[in-house]
Structure 1
Amino acid sequence: MNRRPYRHTSVAFAVALALGLPAYAQNMADAPEGDDGLDTLESLAPIEVQSLRLTTEVLTSPAAVDVTEARDIQQGRAKAQLDAALNRTPGVYANNGSNFAQNLRISIRGFGARSAFGVRGVKVLVDGIPETLADGQAQTDTIDLGAVERLEVIRGPFSALYGNATGGVVDITTTTPASGPVDRGELTVGSHGYRRIEAATAHERGDWGYALTASQLDIEGYRAHSEVKKQQLTGKLERRVGTTGTLRLITRVLDAPDTLDPGGVTLEQAQSDRRSARDANLAFDARQSAEQQTIGLVYEDQLAQNQSYQANLFYSHRDFIQFLPFEDAGVVAYERDFFGGGVQTTRFDTLFGHENQIVAGIDAQIQRDARTRYDNIAGDKGALGLDEDQQATSIGVFAQNVFSISSDLELTTGLRYDYLDFDIDDAFVTATDPNDSGSRTYHEVSANAGLSYAWAERQRVYANVANAFESPTFTEFADPAGNGGFNSELDPQKAVQYEIGAKGEIGNRTRYQISAFWIDVRDELVVFNDDGRRDFYQNSGKSRRQGLEAKLEYAVNDELSAMAAYTLADYEYREFVDDGGVDYAGNAIPGLPEERLFAEVAWRDSDVGYATLDMRYAGSFYADNANTAKIDNAWIFNGRVGKTIDAGDDNLTVYFGIDNMFDEVYFDNIRINAFGGRYYEPAPDRTFYTGLAYEL
Structure 2
Amino acid sequence: MPLRSRAARAFLAATVPALVPVDAEAQDPARRTRPDTTARLDTVTVTAERRRAATFDVPQAVTVIGRERLADRRGMGLDEVLQEVPGVIALSRAGGTDARINIRGFGSRGAGDRSNAGTTRGVRLLIDGFPETEPDGRTALDLFDLATAEGIEVVRSSASSLWGNAAGGVINLTTAVTTTRPFGQLTPVVGSFGLRRWVGRAATPLGRGTLSLSGTFTDFEGWRAHSSGQRSLGLASFVAPVGDRARVGIFAVGGRNAYRIPGPLTRAEADANPEQANATYASRDERRDNKLGRLGVTLDVALDSTHAVSSALYVNPKVLQRSERGTFRDFNRYHVGGNVVYRNALPLFARGARFTAGVDEAYQDGTILFYGLGPGNTRGADLRDNKKEGANNVGVFAHQELDVTPRLTLGVGARWDAIRYDYQSFVGRRLADVKTFSRVTPKLGATWRLGPTHSVYANLGGGVEAPAGNETDPASTFGQDSVYNLNPLLSPIRSTTYEVGTKQLVALGASGATLSYDAAVYVTDVDDEIVPYRGGRFYFTAGQVRRTGAELGAQARGLGAFTLRTALTWSHHRYTEYLVDSVHYSAARAGRFADYGGNRVVGIPDVAYFAGIGVEPRAARWINAEVGLRGQSRFFADDANAVEVPAFSTLQATVGFGEGLPVGRGLALRGFVTVHNLTDRRYVESAFLNPDVVNGQPVAFEPGLPRNVVFSLSLGAAGRR
TM-score (norm 2): 0.87
Task: Tell me what 2:221 maps to.
Answer: 220
* 1:532-547 matches, cutoff 5 A: 535-547=537-549
Separation in 1, partners of 2:177, 2:379 = 43
Task: Tell me what 1:527 maps to.
Answer: 532
Separation in 2, partners of 1:374, 1:480 = 21
Task: Tell me what 1:425 maps to.
Answer: 424
Match of 1:450 among 445, 451, 454: 445
Secondary structure, counterpart of 1:476 in structure 2: helix
Match of 2:75 among 79, 86, 94: 79
**How many residues are matched?**
648
Match of 1:517 among 516, 522, 530: 522
Match of 1:461 among 451, 456, 465: 456
Secondary structure, counterpart of 2:709 in structure 1: strand
Match of 1:599 among 600, 611, 632: 611
Q: Do the aligned residues in 1 keep the contact of 2:529 with 2:545 (CA within 8 Å)?
A: yes
Task: Tell me what 1:694 maps to.
Answer: 715
Task: Tell me what 2:46 maps to.
Answer: 50
Separation in 1, partners of 2:344, 2:539 = 43
Task: Tell me what 1:562 maps to.
Answer: 564
Task: Tell me what 1:26 maps to.
Answer: none
Letter in 1 for 2:340: V
In structure 2, do the counterparts of structure 1 residues 40 and 238 end up closer, same or farther at CA, with 3 Å as the change threshold? closer
Secondary structure, counterpart of 1:281 in structure 2: helix
Q: Do the aligned residues in 1 keep the contact of 2:238 with 2:251 (CA within 8 Å)?
A: yes
Letter in 1 for 2:470: T
Task: Tell me what 2:668 maps to.
Answer: 651
Separation in 2, partners of 1:263, 1:283 = 11
Separation in 1, partners of 2:320, 2:95 = 17
Task: Tell me what 1:626 maps to.
Answer: 640
Q: CA deviation at 1:284?
A: 0.7
Query: Quick check: 597-606 or 281-290, which moved more?
Result: 597-606
Q: CA deviation at 1:599?
A: 1.3
Task: Tell me what 1:4 maps to.
Answer: none
Q: Do the aligned residues in 1 keep the contact of 2:367 with 2:387 (CA within 8 Å)?
A: yes
Render the CA deviation track for 1:576-611: whole Å, top value 9, x for unaligned. Answer: 111212111111111111101111222346841221
Q: Do the aligned residues in 1 keep the contact of 2:300 with 2:311 (CA within 8 Å)?
A: yes
Separation in 1, partners of 2:459, 2:638 = 32
Identity of aligned residues (%): 26
Render the CA deviation track for 1:62-99: whole Å, top value 9, x for unaligned. Answer: 111111111101x2111111111211211011113536
Q: CA deviation at 1:49?
A: 3.3
Q: CA deviation at 1:459?
A: 2.0
Separation in 2, partners of 1:673, 1:613 = 35
Task: Tell me what 1:611 maps to.
Answer: 625
Task: Tell me what 2:194 maps to.
Answer: 193
Task: Tell me what 2:650 maps to.
Answer: 636
Q: Do the aligned residues in 1 keep the contact of 2:198 with 2:218 (CA within 8 Å)?
A: yes
Separation in 2, partners of 1:663, 1:607 = 31
Query: Quick check: 405-414 or 204-213, which moved more?
Result: 204-213
Task: Tell me what 2:342 maps to.
Answer: 345
In structure 2, do the counterparts of structure 1 residues 175 and 43 end up closer, same or farther at CA, with 3 Å as the change threshold? closer
Q: Do the aligned residues in 2 keep the contact of 1:634 with 1:666 (CA within 8 Å)?
A: yes
Match of 1:475 among 470, 478, 485: 470
Separation in 1, partners of 2:330, 2:310 = 36
Letter in 2 for 1:686: R
Separation in 1, partners of 2:575, 2:559 = 46
In structure 2, do the counterparts of structure 1 residues 568 and 424 end up closer, same or farther at CA, with 3 Å as the change threshold? same
Task: Tell me what 2:285 maps to.
Answer: 285
* 1:565-580 matches, cutoff 5 A: 565-580=567-582
In structure 2, do the counterparts of structure 1 residues 286 and 421 end up closer, same or farther at CA, with 3 Å as the change threshold? same
Q: Do the aligned residues in 1 keep the contact of 2:93 with 2:702 (CA within 8 Å)?
A: no
Q: Do the aligned residues in 2 keep the contact of 1:562 with 1:602 (CA within 8 Å)?
A: yes
Separation in 2, partners of 1:185, 1:360 = 42
In structure 2, do the counterparts of structure 1 residues 205 and 457 end up closer, same or farther at CA, with 3 Å as the change threshold? closer
Task: Tell me what 2:67 maps to.
Answer: 70
Task: Tell me what 1:316 maps to.
Answer: 316
Q: Do the aligned residues in 1 keep the contact of 2:473 with 2:538 (CA within 8 Å)?
A: yes
Task: Tell me what 1:583 maps to.
Answer: 595
Task: Tell me what 2:377 maps to.
Answer: 379
Instruction: Tell whether 2:689 aligns with 1:675.
Output: no
Q: CA deviation at 1:667?
A: 1.7
Secondary structure, counterpart of 2:471 in structure 1: coil
Separation in 2, partners of 1:171, 1:654 = 26
TM-score (norm 1): 0.90
Match of 1:359 among 344, 356, 371: 356
Task: Tell me what 2:27 maps to.
Answer: none
Secondary structure, counterpart of 1:270 in structure 2: helix
Q: Do the aligned residues in 2 keep the contact of 1:611 with 1:642 (CA within 8 Å)?
A: yes
Separation in 1, partners of 2:399, 2:87 = 24
Secondary structure, counterpart of 1:176 in structure 2: coil
Query: Quick check: 165-174 or 218-227, which moved more?
Result: 165-174
Q: CA deviation at 1:380?
A: 2.5
CA RMSD of aligned residues (A): 2.0
Separation in 1, partners of 2:431, 2:158 = 33
**Where does the alignment leave 5 or more consecutive residues of structure 1 unmatched?**
1-33
Q: Do the aligned residues in 2 keep the contact of 1:386 with 1:484 (CA within 8 Å)?
A: no
Separation in 1, partners of 2:474, 2:51 = 41
Separation in 1, partners of 2:323, 2:602 = 26
* 1:119-138 matches, cutoff 5 A: 119-138=120-139
Separation in 2, partners of 1:136, 1:660 = 33
Q: Do the aligned residues in 2 keep the contact of 1:180 with 1:201 (CA within 8 Å)?
A: no
Q: CA deviation at 1:639?
A: 1.2
Secondary structure, counterpart of 2:412 in structure 1: strand
Letter in 2 for 1:602: G
Q: Do the aligned residues in 2 keep the contact of 1:41 with 1:558 (CA within 8 Å)?
A: no
Query: Quick check: 174-183 or 226-235, which moved more?
Result: 174-183
Task: Tell me what 2:92 maps to.
Answer: 96
